[in-house]
Structure formats: C-alpha cells, structure tokens
C-alpha cells in the first residue's frame, strides 16, 4: 500500500467517523438535556410504646419551621414510621 492510498484510506475513515459522530451527537444532547437529578430523602422515626394502656395511637406532626407543623400523619399503633419524598438539605422539624 502506498502512502497516497493510506492517506485516502485515513481520510475516508476520518470522514466516516465524523459523520457517525454528527449523527449520534444530537441524540446524546437530547438525552443529556432531558436528564434531571432526582432527589428523594427520607427519615425513619422510631419510638418506645407508651406504657399507658389507654393510648389509641400515635400521630406524627412535622413541618419546615420549628413549632409550625403543617403535616399530620396518623400512624395508628405503629412504633415506627418512614417519611419519604423529603428534599435533601432541607431542615424538617418533628413533634
């Protein structure tokens, strides 16, 4: 193989690679731009059962400011509960 034929072969290979790259690049950009980070934080709460027998159940109160509990969950007689879907890095206050 002569230098000229090697050069032509290299140019053809380079052209094919560039065409392939140009055809794949829009797909890569579409997937990269549509990808969004998904954050899902959770907190697991546990407590000792009340020693009094007349307790009907437990409730969890929580919110994002101290003493302002905007959420209220009735957990029945469970002594643990996991709250999911919280934003990472956000302070959550419980009562």
The answer to whether the beta carbons of residues 42 and 35 sit under 8 Å apart is no
Q: What was the pLDDT predicted at 42? A: 86
Q: What's the mean pLDDT in 65-78?
A: 90
| Residue 4, pLDDT above cutoff 60 | no
Phi, psi of 20 (to 5 degrees): -65, -45
| Residue 95, pLDDT above cutoff 80 | yes
Q: Which structural domain, as residue segments, surrounds residue 20? A: 1-35
Q: Do 72 and 86 have their domain in common?
A: yes
Q: Do 54 and 77 have their domain in common?
A: yes
Cα gap 62→82, rounded to integer Å: 12
Q: Do 30 and 45 have their domain in common?
A: no
Q: Do 31 and 45 have their domain in common?
A: no
Number of domains composing the chain = 2
Q: Do 14 and 58 have their domain in common?
A: no
E-strand stretches of the chain: 41-46, 58-63, 71-76, 80-86, 93-94
Q: What was the pLDDT predicted at 70? A: 93
> And the tokens for 38?
């998904």
Q: What is the DSSP letter of 49?
A: P
Tens digits of residue pLDDT in 16-60: 766 666 676 676 666 666 655 555 688 889 898 888 888 888 999
């Amino acid at each position: 193989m002569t230098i000229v034929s090697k050069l032509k072969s290299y140019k053809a290979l380079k052209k094919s690679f560039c065409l392939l790259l140009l055809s794949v690049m829009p797909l890569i950009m579409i997937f990269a731009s549509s990808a969004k980070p998904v954050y899902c934080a959770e907190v697991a709460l546990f407590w000792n059962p009340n020693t009094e027998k007349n307790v009907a159940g437990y409730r969890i109160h929580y919110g994002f400011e101290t003493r302002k509990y905007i959420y209220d969950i009735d957990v029945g007689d469970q002594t643990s509960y996991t709250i999911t879907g919280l934003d990472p890095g956000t302070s959550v206050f419980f009562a």
